[in-house]
Amino acid sequence: MCSLSEPHGEPPARGDEVQETILGGAPRYTKKQVAEAAGVPVQRAEQLWQAMGFAHVTDEDVVFTDSDVAALRALVELVSADVIPPELETAVARSLAQTMSRLAEWQVEIFKQLLGEEFAVDVETTAQMASVILPVMARLQDYVWRRHLAASASREMAERDAGTDERVQVIGFADLVGYTRLIRDFSAQAGELEELIDGFEALAWGVVAENHGRVIKTIGDEVLFVTDTAADAAEIALTLNEKVAENDLLPPLRIGMAEGPVLARFGDVYGSTVNAASRLTSAARPASALVDRDLAMSLRGNPKYRLISLGPQKVQGFRGLRAWALRRAK
């Protein structure tokens, strides 16, 4: 979308060199000038800017570059060509921003680890490092994006009925037990907390990928994943609990899964199936995995798994949500 500068107004003078290196040029335009150059109303440009998570800038703030103009023009062309419907323009910007914001935070952490105290003190060195690393990161991002795009396109063409965003899938949540207490205990040991979080995410991503699932997102102590088959979901849940049990650093998991219609939109998932899986997660005991009726029916008869009926669960928003504990067959 846009190559965007610092969202909180004019950057500090000492950071201008780093800003210009990252953005590919010096800020030259106000929001009115950007909108005029791209041929769009100011209100539309400002709406997209804010949809991407950036704070309001005044009419006098000079924070935009030539890249902002080019990107806004490109978006207008995509909308004009009906590649992006006008009514989804803001939603597309918002979804892209959510992904890129997290990526940017991670990359800044890499810079800080590489440069240590020099990151905040030696601006010239930071700018030089950025000029060397950014092109490599850009190539890597492009490669990973294209690989995921190809995989996603293949799944869509093979599995989905044309014209619908909804399909039957399995939604799963894996939640670290006692995360709030862990944060409190690790408050004075940030390095150990980072190690725990990194270990959890690495384990979850690895297990989900190995069993043909996809991680939709991680939210602190929780991973949301999706699979196209019941057996893949069962294998992910059981393997996660088994591997966590072997890891002295990680606390046990609660896992809840449900099968049913799922609405996929801009990389996220919605619907009652998602809500049911979330509620089952909250009802699960540590080191266990609960499944709903539909998923239990799909797994019944599979000799690899054993299902234990636990009856209706008292969970918010659902009446009579039945649960089965998932185990490996002995």
Distance from CA of residue 174 to its chain's centroid? 15
Mapping DSSP to helix (H, G, I), strand (E, B) and coil, where does residue 288 land?
strand
Cβ-count burial of 208 within 10 angstroms (0-12 exposed, 13-18 middle, 19+ buried)?
Answer: buried
Distance from CA of residue 120 to its chain's centroid? 28
User: In terms of Cα–Cα distance, which of 63, 77, 5, 1 is closest to 34?
Assistant: 63
Rounded to an integer, what distance in angstroms lies between the CA atom of residue 119 and that of residue 125? 8
Amino acid identity, position 211: N
Q: What does pTM read for this prediction?
A: 0.64
Residue 136's H or E segment, with its range, is: helix 123-159
Per-residue tens of pLDDT for the chain, all 330 residues: 444 334 444 444 455 777 788 888 888 889 899 899 888 888 888 888 887 777 778 888 888 888 888 888 888 888 888 888 888 888 888 777 877 877 887 788 777 777 777 776 777 877 888 888 888 888 888 888 888 778 777 766 666 554 556 789 999 999 998 766 666 665 546 567 777 787 888 899 899 989 989 998 888 788 999 999 999 999 999 999 999 999 888 889 999 999 999 998 877 889 999 999 999 999 999 999 999 999 999 999 999 999 999 988 877 777 778 999 999 998
Distances in whole angstroms, Cα of residue 301 to Cα of each of 161, 189, 290, 329: 28, 48, 17, 11
Distance from CA of residue 30 to its chain's centroid? 31
DSSP annotation of 29 reads B
- pLDDT value at residue 170: 97
User: How many Cα neighbours within 13 Å face the side chain of 273?
Assistant: 23
Write the CB contacts of 143 (distance below 8 Å, at least 6 apart in sequence). none
